[in-house]
């Protein structure tokens, strides 16, 4: 009886492992499809920066405590900082 229970648990673990593997393979296929579509569309640099910032906004809504920013997005972020400084300076000048 003990052997039967052990075999059943082993089969359940293998079934879970197979399900996890199938999900991972589906996600990998999805990522590849998106990558291929983006590459085929040949987007310009501004669009890539915009989409990176939109993705960053979605990531920031999560519970993660660390965010990794792609190098390409750093230029856009630094531009936003410069725009903020300009607007802040203009606002202070009016006062």
Note whether 94 and 66 are same-domain residues: yes
Note whether 31 and 64 are same-domain residues: no
* E strand segments, the chain: none
Note whether 6 and 37 are same-domain residues: yes
Q: Do 68 and 45 touch, CB atoms closer than 8 A?
A: no
Query: Residue 20 — very low, low, confident or very high, per pLDDT cuts 50/70/90?
Result: very high
pTM score, whole prediction:
0.44
What gap in Å lies between CA 43 and CA 38, rounded to an integer?
7
Note whether 27 and 53 are same-domain residues: no
Note whether 49 and 95 are same-domain residues: yes
Note whether 88 and 75 are same-domain residues: yes
pLDDT digits (tens, 9 = 90+) for 32-84: 998 899 889 888 888 888 887 888 788 778 776 666 666 666 666 666 666 66
Boundaries of domain holding 7: 1-42
Note whether 71 and 60 are same-domain residues: yes
Domain count of the fold of the chain: 2
């Amino acid at each position: 009886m003990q052997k039967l229970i052990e075999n059943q648990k082993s089969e359940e673990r293998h079934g879970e492992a197979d399900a996890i593997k199938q999900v991972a393979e589906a996600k990998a296929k999805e990522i590849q499809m998106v990558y291929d579509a983006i590459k085929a569309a040949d987007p310009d640099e501004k669009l890539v920066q915009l989409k990176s910032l939109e993705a960053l906004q979605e990531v920031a809504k999560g519970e993660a405590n660390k965010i990794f920013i792609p190098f390409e997005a750093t230029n856009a972020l630094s531009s936003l900082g410069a725009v903020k400084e300009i607007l802040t300076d203009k606002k202070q000048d009016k006062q």
